[in-house]
Structures are given as structure tokens and as C-alpha cells.
Amino acid sequence: MSEVKGLNKPVKLKAELAAFLGAKELPRTEITKKLWDYIKKNKLQTKTVNGKPENAGKFIVVDAKLLPIFKKTKSTSKSGKVTDLTKLVVGKTIDMMQMAAIVGANIE
């Protein structure tokens, strides 16, 4: 059997994400899928920055369960763009394009 590599390789989750997902290790693809499942199930998408949840759109409305996970995110991309969600509060939004940074900040 070949070794699993890349996005399908299980990674170790930090405490808040592990508690949220109920697993200590998961592949990045599965982490992202489970986060999106939660966001969709709870209708936490909106079309406007800091808009009310409306179940569609490119922004994610942060709720109390997502906040501890999202607040761990402070990273700089290869292009130099900083993603700093450490001051995020419930009810504010993030751009869905920040999900990769969030997942990256919550794995070891």
C-alpha cells in the first residue's frame, strides 16, 4: 500500500479544531469539507462584508463555535498578504478565500 501524500495525508489538529471536528487527525481536504458542511448547515454565508447570514455568498459569518478556530489564524502568504483574524468577533465575516489559511493555522 502506498503512503498517502499531499492534501489527502492526515495531519494533526490543534486542540480547538480537534474538539470542533471530534478527531485528532484528518486530511486537509476532510477538514475543509467538514468546516464547509458546518457553515452550510448553519447557513453562515452572506454576500456582503459583515452582512447577516443568508445561506449564500463568498463571506462566512463567524459564530461562537467557529470563533476559537478562526482566531488562531495569523499568517503571511507567499505573496506577502497577511491574514490576521486574531481580533475577530462573533457576527463578523471572513472571506471564504481565507479558509486555507485557517486550516493551516489549526494544524501542527
- Determine what percent of the chain falls in helix, strand and coil, rounding each to the nearest 5: 35, 20, 45
Contact yes or no for 62/98 (Cβ under 8 A): no
**pLDDT of 1:** 56
Per-residue pLDDT of the chain (108 residues; tens, 9 = 90+): 567 778 789 999 999 999 999 999 999 999 999 999 999 999 999 999 999 888 899 999 999 999 999 999 999 888 998 999 999 999 999 999 999 999 999 999
Q: What structural domains and CATH numbers belong to the chain?
A: 8-105 (1.10.245.10)
Q: State if pTM tops 0.85.
A: yes
**pLDDT of 8:** 86
**pLDDT of 2:** 61
